């Protein structure tokens, strides 16, 4: 078949199937069967499973017209087996894709939760840096953060009396004890 008809295997096989159809319609069922057998062997040779099923189907239908019961059963079984294998692989592939998509969606959902926590607890510019994967360990020389649990903090207190109370705690606890200077912001100086 290869010597007589150059070209792609798929094209040669399809031409052979078409030629067999013409031979069948002209009444030469034996020549049609021989042509389809050649096409089937080439499809097997090149591993073209979809064309193999097409040729088996054509041979099955031709065997029915020739009253070849054994040929009909043989080609029908092969057609069914290969079709189920192809569909099984397609189904397995689809299931694997769906499972992977569910996994990706779950990871994305988890990432979104983490991002929501980041953005709710950190300033935006720092949360964005963390989200991009940057290491955020900025260093400030001689800086400290003061957390104070002032007495009577849980009782109602006037908002205006809170800054002087905190200032007094800071001054007496740290500045005097450690001989430190209190840094003032411009806003603090404007209010004095």
Given a cut of 60, whether residue 192 has pLDDT beyond it is no
In a domain, 33, yes or no: yes
81/15 same-domain check: yes
Which of the listed residues 58, 90, 122 is the one where a domain comes to its end? 90
**How many domains are there within the chain?**
2
Pair 47, 88: CB distance under 8 Å = no
Model's pTM, two decimal places?
A: 0.45
Residue 78 sits in a domain whose CATH number is 1.25.40.10
Which of the listed residues 67, 90, 113 is the one where a domain comes to its end? 90
Given a cut of 50, whether residue 191 has pLDDT beyond it is no
pLDDT, tens only, 2-17: 454 556 888 889 999 9
Q: Where in the sequence is the domain holding 50, given as residue range(s)?
A: 9-90
């Amino acid at each position: 078949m290869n010597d007589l008809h150059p070209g792609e295997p798929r094209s040669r096989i399809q031409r052979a199937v078409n030629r067999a159809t013409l031979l069948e319609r002209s009444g030469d069922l034996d020549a049609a069967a021989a042509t389809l057998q050649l096409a089937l062997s080439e499809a097997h040779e090149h591993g073209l499973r979809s064309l193999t099923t097409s040729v088996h189907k054509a041979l099955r239908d031709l065997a029915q017209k020739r009253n070849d019961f054994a040929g009909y059963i043989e080609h029908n079984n092969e057609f069914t087996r290969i079709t189920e294998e192809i569909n099984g692989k397609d189904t397995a592939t689809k299931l694997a894709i769906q499972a992977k998509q569910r996994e990706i969606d779950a990871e994305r959902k988890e990432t979104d939760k983490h991002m929501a926590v980041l953005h709710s607890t950190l300033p935006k510019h720092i949360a964005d840096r963390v989200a991009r994967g940057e290491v955020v360990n900025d260093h400030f020389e001689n800086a400290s953060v003061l957390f104070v649990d002032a007495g009577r903090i849980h009782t109602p207190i006037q908002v205006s009396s809170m800054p002087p109370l905190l200032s007094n705690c800071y001054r007496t606890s740290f500045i005097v004890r450690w001989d430190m200077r209190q840094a003032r912001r411009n806003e603090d100086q404007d209010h004095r």
